[in-house]
C-alpha cells in the first residue's frame, strides 16, 4: 500500500519553466534518439490499427464490433495504469518499455498469421486488442518517467509536447505506410513486416544511459499493492486542484469521445464516398494526426500556450466543436478540415494536462500519479466504445459522435466555471 512514510507532500507551487528556446528538449541528444525511435514505434502501432480495423470491418461489417474493439483495447488502461506506474517507479523504465514493445510485436505477428490462414474470428480480435492495450499500459508511465529523467523538470513541457508530437508523427505516417503495405504485400504480409518497425526503439533502450539509476533517483522499493493503493494515490494528490482538475478533464474527454471515431472511420469514409482502401480513407485517418503534428511544431517553435488549467479547458471545448462538426459533415473536404483542427486542439490540451500533472506530482510516487492520469485519460476511452460505437449501432454513428461531443463540451464548460470560481474564492 502507499504509506505516509514514502509519500512526499504535493508541490502546489510547481509550475512550468519559463518560456525557453524553441524545441528545447530536442537539444538533448538522448531525447532526440528517443523522439525518433518512439515515433517509429508509434507508426508501427498505427499501421497495425489501420490494417486490423480495415479487415475487421470488411469481414464483419459491424459498428458494434467497432465499439467492442475500443472497449477491449482500452480496458487494460483503466484497470492497470496505476500498477504500471508503480512498476516504473520501482524498476528501470527502459526495461518496462521494452517489454511493452515485445507485446506489440507479438500481437502484430498474431494478426498476420490469422489473416494468412483466414481464421480470424470475433474473439480473436477481442483478445489481440486487449493484449495490445496491455502493451500500451506498459509503455505510457515508463515513457513519461524516462523523458523526465532525460531532460529534467525545466524542459518537461517541451519534452511532453514533443513526445506527443512524435506519437502523432507516427500516427500520421501510419495510415500512409499501412496503405502502401496493404497495396504492395497484402494485409497479412503487411502487418507481419510491421513487426520489424518496433526494433529500433528496443535496440536503443538496451544501452541508453537514462532511466531511474542513471538519473540518481532511488526507485520505490515498496511492494505493489491492490485496489487500495489506487485509492491511496488518488487521496495523496486530491488536495492539488491542478492535478485533480486535469485528471477529471482528461477522463471526461476519454469517456465521452476518446478516439472511438477511429474504429468507425471505415463507415465515415463510406458515407463520405471514400469507402475503399485507398487515398481517401487514409487521408481521413491521417487528418487529425496531421493537425496534432502541426500543433506540436507550431507551439514548440513559438513557445505558445504555456501550461495552465484554464487554457486546457478552453482547448478541450474547441476540440469538442470540431469533433461534433466532423460528425455532422457531409462534405469530404469539410470533414478533413475539421479533423485537422480537432487534432490540433487535442494535442494542445492533452500535452498541457499531462505536463501539469507531471510537474505537480510528488517525486516518490510520480509513476503512480502518471498511471492515475493514464487510467483517466486512456482507460476511460473504453467507455467511448459504448457512447460512440455501440450507441451508434442504434442511432447511427454520426448522431452518437455528435451527441457525445456536445455533452462533453457542456460538461467541460461547467468545470471551467467551477474552477474559475474556486480560484477567485
- Digit-coded pLDDT (tens) for 152-206: 877 787 888 888 777 777 777 787 788 888 888 888 898 999 999 999 999 999 8
Sign of CA dihedral 69, 75, 76, 81: positive
Query: Torsion angle, CA of 67/73/77/83, rounded to 10 degrees?
Result: 150
Helix H or strand E segment including 194? helix 156-194
Q: How far apart are CA 176 and CA 330, in angstroms?
A: 24
- Digit-coded pLDDT (tens) for 282-291: 788 778 878 8
pLDDT of the residue at 105: 95
Query: Torsion angle, CA of 53/58/60/62, rounded to 10 degrees?
Result: 70
Q: Give which of 267, 230, 254 is closest to 376, Cα–Cα.
A: 254
pLDDT of the residue at 19: 47
Q: Give which of 268, 249, 270 is closest to 260, Cα–Cα.
A: 268
Query: What is the per-residue DSSP string for 249-311?
Result: HHHHHHHHTTTHHHHTHHHHHHHTT--STTHHHHHHHHHHHHHHHHHHHHHHHHT-S---HHH
pLDDT of the residue at 65: 67
User: Hey, what domains does the chain have and what are their CATH numbers?
Assistant: 25-217+226-424 (1.20.1250.20)
Q: Give which of 30, 21, 27 is closest to 150, Cα–Cα.
A: 30
Mean pLDDT calculated for residue range 11-27: 57
Sign of CA dihedral 207, 211, 217, 221: negative
pLDDT of the residue at 4: 36
| Position with higher pLDDT, 289 vs 128 | 128
**Across the chain, what does the average pLDDT equal?**
81
Mean pLDDT calculated for residue range 46-65: 76
Amino acid at each position: 500500500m502507499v504509506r505516509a512514510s514514502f509519500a512526499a507532500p504535493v508541490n502546489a507551487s510547481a509550475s512550468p519553466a519559463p518560456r525557453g528556446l524553441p524545441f528545447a528538449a530536442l537539444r538533448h541528444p538522448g531525447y532526440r534518439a528517443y523522439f525518433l525511435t518512439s515515433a517509429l514505434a508509434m507508426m508501427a502501432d498505427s499501421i497495425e490499427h489501420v490494417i486490423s480495423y480495415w479487415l475487421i470491418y470488411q469481414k464483419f461489417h459491424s459498428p458494434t464490433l467497432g465499439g467492442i474493439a475500443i472497449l477491449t483495447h482500452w480496458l487494460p488502461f483503466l484497470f492497470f495504469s496505476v500498477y504500471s506506474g508503480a512498476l516504473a517507479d520501482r524498476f528501470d523504465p527502459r526495461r518496462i518499455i521494452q517489454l511493452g514493445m515485445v507485446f506489440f510485436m507479438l500481437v502484430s505477428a498474431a494478426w498476420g498469421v490469422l489473416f494468412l490462414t483466414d481464421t480470424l474470428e470475433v474473439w480473436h480480435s477481442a483478445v489481440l486488442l486487449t493484449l495490445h492495450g496491455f502493451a500500451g499500459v506498459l509503455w505510457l508511465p515508463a515513457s513519461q518517467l524516462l523523458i523526465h529523467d532525460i531532460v529534467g523538470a525545466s524542459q518537461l513541457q517541451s519534452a511532453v509536447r514533443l513526445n506527443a508530437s512524435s506519437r502523432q508523427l507516427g500516427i500520421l505516417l501510419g495510415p500512409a505506410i499501412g496503405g502502401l503495405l496493404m497495396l504492395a504485400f497484402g494485409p497479412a504480409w503487411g502487418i507481419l513486416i510491421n513487426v520489424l518497425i518496433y526494433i529500433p526503439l528496443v535496440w536503443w533502450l538496451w544501452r541508453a544511459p537514462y532511466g531511474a539509476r542513471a538519473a540518481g533517483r532511488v526507485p520505490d522499493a515498496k511492494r505493489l499493492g491492490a485496489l487500495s493503493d489506487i485509492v491511496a494515490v488518488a487521496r495523496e494528490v486530491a488536495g492539488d486542484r491542478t492535478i485533480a482538475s486535469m485528471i477529471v478533464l482528461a477522463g471526461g474527454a476519454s469517456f465521452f469521445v476518446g478516439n472511438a471515431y477511429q474504429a468507425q472511420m471505415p463507415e465515415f469514409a463510406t458515407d463520405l464516398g471514400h469507402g475503399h482502401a485507398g487515398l481517401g480513407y487514409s487521408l481521413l485517418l491521417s487528418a487529425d494526426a496531421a493537425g496534432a503534428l502541426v500543433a506540436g511544431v507550431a507551439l514548440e517553435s513559438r513557445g505558445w500556450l504555456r501550461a495552465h488549467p484554464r487554457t486546457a479547458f478552453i482547448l478541450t471545448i474547441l476540440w469538442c466543436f470540431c469533433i461534433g462538426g466532423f460528425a455532422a459533415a457531409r462534405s469530404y473536404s469539410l470533414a478533413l478540415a475539421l479533423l485537422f483542427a480537432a487534432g490540433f486542439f487535442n494535442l494542445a490540451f492533452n500535452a498541457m494536462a499531462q505536463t501539469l500533472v507531471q510537474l505537480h506530482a510528488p517525486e516518490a510516487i510520480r509513476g503512480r500519479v502518471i498511471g492515475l492520469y493514464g487510467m483517466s485519460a486512456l482507460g476511460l476511452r473504453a467507455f467511448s466504445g459504448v457512447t460512440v460505437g455501440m450507441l451508434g449501432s442504434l442511432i447511427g454513428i454520426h448522431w452518437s459522435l455528435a451527441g457525445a461531443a456536445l455533452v462533453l463540451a457542456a460538461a467541460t464548460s461547467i468545470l471551467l466555471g467551477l474552477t474559475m470560481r474556486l480560484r477567485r474564492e
